[in-house]
Amino acid sequence: MSILLKKETSILVQGITGSEGLFHTEQMIDYGSNILCGVTPGKGGQYATKNNLPVFNSIEDAMKKFKIDASIIFVPPRFAANAILEAIEEKISLIVCISEGIPVRDMKRVKIALDASSSILIGPNCPGLITAEESKMGITPGFICKKGPIGILSKSGTLTYEAIDQIVNIGYGISTAVGIGGDPIIGSSMIDILKHFENDPETEAVVLIGEIGGNMENEAAKWIKNNFSKPVVSFIAGQTAPKGKRMGHAGAIISEGSETAEAKIKTLKECGISVSKTVSEIGITMKKLLGEK
């Protein structure tokens, strides 16, 4: 099985006529994603991609013609928050925002609206998610994925790809890989995604990739200890980062003791979670862990 995204999930692309939106929409279609149409304000009535998908001025207009389950957003940062809010207002179940550099003040508005809704937001500033051999919403390369029983949950796009590759190379494969993003305010936390993996009978184990800054990994470790029934292999990026220096993501800044890589690794281990010493050992660590079960 999979979480959140399935082959039949019907998808709309916000920002489909931009260069990034156009390129990745065609990549998603080639992978098998069920993309029905797109939205670009002012360009309604046009068609986009080699598949001639209809373009609408708004999600409201698109939903008069199509039943939409999910929306993926490739919109410049200054417009991205309003694009997310539009999707929330139209009660889109799953929203994925790839856009990077959305101002924190804008994401505060989004978070308030999101918390009052039933929508699930992945991102922003993320690679999106992919269900192996079924569908993808985002920029994860499909060719590295093979279907299997391991879920991937990561703050880092690049490390999401690395973890997928290692899990496939050890002979397992993945169910769904979710890159949640590393900004200070994001739609879904690690715990939010772990709950979905816990409820998926065909996900047998999870790779959890965190980084310095914030306390999300510590909270997830404690939740796993008390609520998660499946093996977890973790890795924390930024182990050599100096205090106060941002490393890669806007949220990856160490400001207090519990936010360091060392503190997070200690918490993970105390909660009974296997920790990979280096990024190159994620797959090996998982193989050893599953061999012990």
pLDDT at 150: 98
pLDDT at 242: 56
Statement: residue 64 has pLDDT above 80: yes
Q: Calculate what percentage of the chain has a pLDDT beyond 90.
A: 86
Report d(CA 53, CA 68) in Å as an integer. 14
Whether a cis peptide bond, with omega within 30° of 0, leads into 124 is: yes
Contact between 86 and 68 (Cβ < 8 Å): no
Statement: residue 240 has pLDDT above 90: no
Statement: residue 246 has pLDDT above 80: no
- pTM > 0.95: no
Report d(CA 205, CA 125) in Å as an integer. 25
Statement: residue 292 has pLDDT above 90: no
pLDDT at 249: 53
Report residue 13's pLDDT band, with 50, 70 and 90 as the boundaries.
Answer: very high
Overall average pLDDT of the 8-28 stretch: 98
Query: In the predicted model, what is the mean pLDDT of the chain?
Result: 93
Phi and psi at residue 75, to the nearest 5°: -130, 140
Statement: residue 291 has pLDDT above 90: no
Statement: residue 136 has pLDDT above 70: yes
In the chain, what are the domains?
10-122 (3.40.50.720), 140-292 (3.40.50.261)
Report residue 42's pLDDT band, with 50, 70 and 90 as the boundaries.
Answer: very high
Statement: residue 278 has pLDDT above 70: yes
Of the ranges 1-5, 21-25, 189-193, which one carries the lowest mean pLDDT score?
A: 1-5
Point out the residues that are catalytic: 249
Sequential DSSP letters for 118-167: S-EEE-SSS-EEEETTTEEEES--GGG--EEEEEEEES-HHHHHHHHHHH
The SS3 of residue 54 is strand
User: What is the residue type of 8?
Assistant: E
> What order do you get walking across the sheet with 53-56 strand by strand?
47-48, 53-56, 34-39, 10-14, 70-73, 94-97, 120-122
**Which run of H or E residues covers position 169?**
helix 157-169
pLDDT at 258: 72
Statement: residue 212 has pLDDT above 90: no
Report residue 243's pLDDT band, with 50, 70 and 90 as the boundaries.
Answer: low
Alpha helix ranges (H) inside 40-140: 59-65, 77-89, 104-115
Report d(CA 261, CA 96) in Å as an integer. 28
> What is the Rg, in whole angstroms, of the alpha carbon atoms belonging to the chain?
19
